[in-house]
Structure formats: structure tokens, C-alpha cells
Structure 1
Amino acid sequence: MSTRENSYTEAEALNLLAQLERILDLDPLIDEVGFIHPSQFATLKEEIGDSLSSEDRDHESTSFWIRDHKLGISTQILIPVYKAAKHAFISALRQYKTPGNFSGKSQDDTLAIEVMIHSKALLLLSCDFATAWNSRKLIVSNKRLLPILMDELHLSALVLSYSPKSEQAWSHRRWVINMISRNCSTLQWIIERESELVEKIAERSKMNYRAWNHRCWLVSFMTREQVLDELKKSRNWSGLHVADNSCFHYRR
């Protein structure tokens, strides 16, 4: 652990967390997250987009990088921001779950939003934080709105962009799809996109049995035509990736 990682004050860590959460709020279409060594920021500085204000851009050049819906986070700030996010999340969740702590529905909604905001930041820093995933399930299950469920698919895909073998993220996607399947006319379209996501991730992450197991699970939601199409796609894919046995497991 570097000296700089230990030198952030609590206020500085909270400020960095606020910046991260603001970036995520300003660009809801971010589809990829990565972690960048501080030495790389000088090279990337010229490529920084205009999605943030000029006031934030100087700090972004040393802590965050965002361009074309791709987010880079400095490895130097991971530990202090993680600690700040964890503390903020646990505090918000405790308030949300405390009986009699609400003055009304609006207060309940406010606390739920705080839990969702902090848990999102936390999961982008620590993808297997089960309590954060479970808190999102709790809140989403109380609302059961399709846009919120689609947001959960987007978040888990974002996590998988940097941790493609995260069992928690794959499990969360299955939970969301089960929720959607109860009342959704566009389920087959979602299943098709889900299968495409698995193939995309499998291209980047070799021998990813978690991804292919997820695709196996999707078969139960597919029509006969979709299953036949999957067999054709997987045959072509296995022909191009003969050393990746995970695809053969899927075909069985």
C-alpha cells in the first residue's frame, strides 16, 4: 500500500466518493469501468471529454477519467474511496432498515435512493460485497418497476465489465430476469440481449464458466427458435475458440 493511499483524510475520501457518484449520475450510459495507474493519467489527459465541468476536470485528471461512456478510476484512490463508500452505504442502509425511523413515504424513498447511490459506488469498487447486492434486491423488490429492473441489469453489466467472473453479479442478473419474467412482454428481447452479453464477455474472459452457466440458465426462457439459433451460434463460436471448453459445456 502506497503512502499516498494512506494520506487521504476522511473529508478528502468523502469528496472523492461524491465526485464518483456525481460522475455516475451525470452519465447513466457508462458501460465500462476500469482501474488506471496514476502514471497513465498524464497520457490520457488530452483525451478527457467534456462531460464534467471545468471545475472538476483538474481533479478528474488525477482521480477519474471518463470518455465515450468509459470510466477509469485511479488505483491510488481505491482504498480511501472504498472505505468512504462502505461507511456511507452501511449508514444509509441502517437508517433505511430501522423501524419507526420514517416520517412518511417521502423519507422512505429518500433513504432508499441513498442506499442505491452508495451501493452502486461500492459495488464498482468491490463487486462481491453481498450486502450491497442484497440491499438493492430489497429495495427493487418493493417497487418492481421495469425501468428500475433494467437499471439493475445495466449495473451488473457494468460490474462484469471489470470483473467478468463475479458470481454475485451473475447471480443478481438471474434474480432480476426472474423478476422481469413475471410480467414483461419484452422478455424474449431481453433474453436475446443477455445471450449476446455472455458471448461478448466470453470473448474477453477466456474459460469463463460462470458466464456460460448463466447462458445455460437462460435456455429455460427461450423459444424453440432461439434455442436452435443458440446451437448454431455456439457451434460457430466453439470453432473459433477450440481451446475454450466452457462453450462445449453450454452445448450439452
Structure 2
Amino acid sequence: MAESEEEDVLVQRVVKDINNAFKRNPNIDEIGLILCPEARYNRSPIVLVENKLGVESWCVKFLLPYVHNKLLLYRQRKQWLDREALVDITCTLLLLNSDFTTAWNVRKELLQCGALNPERDLYLGKLALTKFPKSPETWIHRRWVLQQVLQECSPPSSDRKEQRDSGLRDAAERTRLSERLHRVLHDEMKVCADAASRYPSNYNAWSHRIWVLQNMAQGNLKVLHDELSSMREWVSMHVSDHSGFHYRQFLLKALVRELSQSMHHHHAPWPSLGSSSPRSPSPDPQPGHPHHQANGEATAAAPCPSPATPEDQSLVPAMPQLFHQEMELCTDLIQSFPGHETLWCHRRHVFYLWHHWRRDHDHHDGQGCGSESPQLNHTDAGLSSYPHTASPRGVGIDRVESRNGQAQEGQNAMEVDGVGVPDPRNTKRLKRGPPDPCPPALPSEHSFIARVLEGCRSPEQGCFALAYRKWLDSVIGQ
């Protein structure tokens, strides 16, 4: 009996030491166990060095059963604990066993009654993931907390009209909520990246990252593009991580979907692969036109789209360039790291996505304006804006661009019907930019496979290349 009381006193001191460590340093970013079979010194088993918190392993066999039984007695209504004690006990328990669902449920109740801050609860989950990066219960609980944050930052739709009419929510409040969401989103991306680096092919972490983008950054092209750019270095260092490449494929799909919806929303034709600037878009939709999100749902509260800006128009020709850059990345990684099936699977997915986008593009062109006329790049677009580029006397654009002024007759001819052309001697000649990137195609893919097989020294690389060629012939080449 006396020994049991001594253990209870010891465990209570350890729980108190853990909570005092968080009070002394609120910036703790990692927890871990310190291998120590027995207590060698008469000191606390909680070690805090800079931003790292360690627990000596000898005390876990006393600490974990104690906090576990305490929480179960509370859930069975056999023992009463105040809110502060519940916060401390669940914190200690989850740092030692993050898959204890009852502890997370207790923290949900504490959060709902206002005894716990959502950001503080997310912080505990972040620390638990440094020791248990695949913990499914931790990821599930994080999604629940994030949903609470979203509800706090966006009031119910029934209240929005009243708030809009009465003006209760001012600009400062909206800015504060927007900054809060941005901060939470940024922290979630860091948590997911850290968990993915701690455990290879961490499916739970990557799935959570997808969920965050779908629910907190839906339709945000900038966030999607930034994620794709930041992931480039990561996948180059983890060439066998299937889950990481699956996340990159999700980003590509989301970008293609959002770019396509953006072009349809502005009634702009699909871009030509040989064109580096889009054609002039049609007039914008009528005010009040619902904005369609990535999941196909229409949100009536979305603002009416403004006229297409140069930044919006720059999205149109980005589609072929997006696929070209991704195929270039696949080529570099396959050649630099031979024998990795993940890279070939990713290349197959990218080409399949490109194939379907191109097919839809051609179908849309067939229903819209024809593509028989040759496409112009950005240097020709300025010249084509003037009517009568060829006069009845046969004066062409090359004569208009003559430097020495010997084409005066051509100038007069260009002024037919009262339409004048600026003096070419007073106008700078536009230089043609670099050629557009070559889009993926079956011949180029077969050439790539032939080059790989020709210099192949890895039997696995040869098998993957042959399997890719067979897939191209059976799926794409039909």
C-alpha cells in the first residue's frame, strides 16, 4: 500500500513536471524517449533541452498506466476531475500513446465547452506526430479541430445575410479571420511535411494534406501552384515515396481542373499549344452567376468575377507548359535514379492526364471556333490587331517593317479605307521569344523509351521501360 502511494506521488510529480516544461518553454517542437532502464539520479525524469522535450524511459511503466486509469475512471463517472486536470492528464497520455481515442474525445468535449483553445490542441497533436508520425487517431482528430476553426471563421449561411445587411462584421474582423485561416493552413502544411519526412510513404500524412487543401484552399490557384513548386525538391529527394508522388498527382489534377474552370468561367477558348498568349476572352458572365468550386458545387456567396486581367489570361497558356515541366522532371529523375518504379508510375499518370486534357481540348476546339488559321505568338499578336495587313497592291508585312523607308508605296497602300498604320520607322521591332515547349506525344515517349533501353544497365530499369511502352501501346495508342 505504501509502495503504491509512493508511485502515485511520483507519477503526479512527473505529470506536473511535464506541464511545467510547457509553461517554461511554449515553443517545444519535438518529444521523445530517453533510453534509461532505471533511475540513476534523484531528479525529474523530464528533460528539457532548448526546444526538445525528453522523457526517461524508466518512468513510462508507472506513468502510462496511472494516467490511463485516471481517464477511464473519469469516463465511467467513478472519479471527478476538473477541466484543468483533464487537460493535463490527456496531454501526458497522448504524448505517450497518441492512438488512445478516448483521450482525444475528452479533448473534443473540452474544446466544445471552451476550456481548450483549438490552436493549442493542434499544437499537442503536432508534438504527438513527432513521435508517432503515422498515428491515424491524431490525424482524424486534427481534421475535426480544423473543421471547428473553419466554422469559427465562417458563420453559418443563415447568418451571413443579416451580417451583410447590418454591417456587424467590419473589415478589421474579416482581416483577422483571414489571417488566422492563413496561419493555420501554413502550420498544417509544415506539420504534414515534417511527418512525411519522419516516416517514408506516410499515407496518413499525405491524405491529410490533400484534405486540408480541399477544405481550406479550395479553388486557390496560388496555393496549388506554390505547393506544386515546393514539392519539386521534395520528390527529387524521395524518389521511392509513392504517397508523396500521389500527392503531386493530386496537385496536377486540381490545377488542371481549376485552370479549365477558370477558362470556361471567362468564356475563353482553349489555348493553342503553339500560342504563348490567349485570344481575347468573351464578355464576362452576368452578375450573380454562381461560382463553381473544384467539387462541382456552386457557392452563391462567391463574388462576381471581375474582367479578365493579364494575370488571369496568363493562366491559359500555362497548361501545356505545366505538363511539359512535369514530364521534364520525370525524365531527369528517371535518368538520375534508374530502377525506381515510383518514377515510371508517375510518368504514366502525368501522360494519361495530359492525354485526356488534350482530347478534351480538341473536342472543345471542334465545337468552338475553328483552328484552321495559323496561330500567332505574342510577337504576331500586336501586328494582327491592325486590319488590312495585306493591301490590294500586294504589300505585305515585311515591306511595312522595312527600316530604310523604301516601302513608302506600301505605307500608302496600308491606309486604304482611312485606316492608318503607325510609321514603322518610329516603332520598335518586336523580337520573337524562345519557342514554345514541345508538348508530350506518343513519338517523343517512344523515343525516350528507346534511349533508356539503349543505355540501360539496370535490369529493373529495362523492365519498367518495357512495361511503360506496353502501356502506351495498349491504353494510349488505341
Partner of 1:59: 43
Cα distance change, pair 173–58 in 1 and its aligned pair in 2 (3 A): same
How far does residue 94 in structure 1 lie from its aligned partner after superposition?
5.0
- In structure 1, which of residues 156, 181, 189 is the aligned counterpart of residue 125 of structure 2? 156
| Distance in 2 between residues matched to 1:217 and 1:144, nearest whole Å | 27
For residues 228 and 144 of structure 1, the distance between their equivalents in structure 2, rounded to whole angstroms, comes to 38
Percent identical across equivalent pairs?
28
C-alpha distance in 2 between matches for 1:132 and 1:205: 24
Which residue, out of 10, 13, 26, partners 2:11? 13
Rg (Cα) greater in structure: 2
- Gap change, CA 1:94 and 1:24, over 3 Å in 2: farther
Matched, 1:232 2:201: no
Q: Give the SS at the match of 1:198.
A: helix
Q: Which of 134, 143, 158 pairs up with 2:114?
A: 143
Higher helix share: 1
Residues 74-85 of structure 1 correspond to what in structure 2 (within 5 A)? 74-85=56-67
Q: Any runs of at least 4 consecutive aligned residues in structure 1 with deviations exceeding 6 A, and if so which?
A: 39-42
What is the CA–CA distance in structure 1 between the aligned matches of 2:37 and 2:65, rounded to whole Å? 23
> Could you tell me how far apart the structure 2 residues matched to 1:244 and 1:41 are?
41
Contact 2:134 2:195 in 1 (8 A): no
Residue 215 of structure 1: aligned partner: 209
Aligned-residue offset at 1:112: 1.8
Q: Residue in 2 aligned with 1:107?
A: none
The residue correspondences of 1:84-123 to structure 2 (distance < 5 A) are: 84-94=66-76, 111-123=82-94
User: For residues 142-175 of structure 1, what are the alpha-carbon distances to aligned partners after superposition, in whole Å with 9 as ceiling and x for unaligned?
Assistant: 2297xx0000110000100111111111111111
TM (norm. structure 2) is: 0.42
Partner secondary structure for residue 43 of structure 2: helix
1:165–1:211 CA contact under 8 A, matched in 2: yes
Deviation track 1:106-148 (CA, whole Å, cap 9, x = no partner) reads xxxx812221111111111111110000000011022297xx0
SS at match of 1:38: coil
- CA distance in 2 between partners of 1:169 and 1:135 (Å): 13
- CA–CA separation in structure 1 for the residues paired with 2:136 and 2:14: 28
List per-residue Cα deviations over 1:179-229 (Å, max 9, x = no partner). Answer: 111133221231122112211222222111111111111111212210111
The answer for the alignment partner of 2:241 in structure 1 is 244
Q: 1:117 to 1:144 in 2, by over 3 A?
A: closer
Q: Distance in 1 between matches of 2:9 and 2:194?
A: 40
Please say if residues 32 and 70 of structure 1, whose CA atoms lie closer than 8 Å, have aligned partners that are also in contact: yes
Letter matched to residue 174 of structure 1 = R
**Cα distance change, pair 24–91 in 1 and its aligned pair in 2 (3 A):** farther
Q: Scaled by the length of structure 1, what TM-score is found?
A: 0.77
In 1, distance between residues paired with 2:181 and 2:213? 13
The alignment's C-alpha RMSD in Å is: 2.7
Change (3 A) 1:94 1:26: farther
Counterpart position of 1:23: 21
Distance in 2 separating the partners of 1:14 and 1:133: 21
Per the alignment, in what secondary structure is the counterpart of residue 99 of structure 2? coil
Distance between the aligned counterparts of 1:219 and 1:188, measured in 2?
Answer: 12
Instruction: Provide the C-alpha distance between the structure 2 equivalents of 1:91 and 1:71, rounded to a whole number of angstroms.
Output: 28
Aligned-pair CA distance for 1:77: 0.9
Unaligned runs of 5+ in 1: 1-5, 43-56, 102-109
CA pair 79-41 structure 1, distance change in 2 beyond 3 A: closer
Determine helix, strand or coil for the equivalent of 1:59.
Answer: coil
Instruction: Tell me the amino acid that sits aligned with residue 242 of structure 1.
Output: V
For 2:28 and 2:104, how far apart are their aligned partners in 1?
Answer: 19
C-alpha spacing 1:40/1:188, structure 2 compared with 1 (3 Å): farther
Q: 1:105 aligns to what?
A: none
Contact persistence 1:66–1:72 (CA under 8 A)? yes
Question: Residues of 1 paired with 2:94 and 2:112: CA distance?
Answer: 19
Question: Which structure is richer in relative contact order (CA contacts within 8 A, separation 6 or more)?
Answer: 1
* Residues paired across the two proteins, number: 217
How far residue 93 of structure 1 moved from its aligned partner, in angstroms, is: 4.7
Instruction: Say whether residues 1:175 and 2:125 are aligned partners.
Output: no
Amino acid at match of 1:16: V
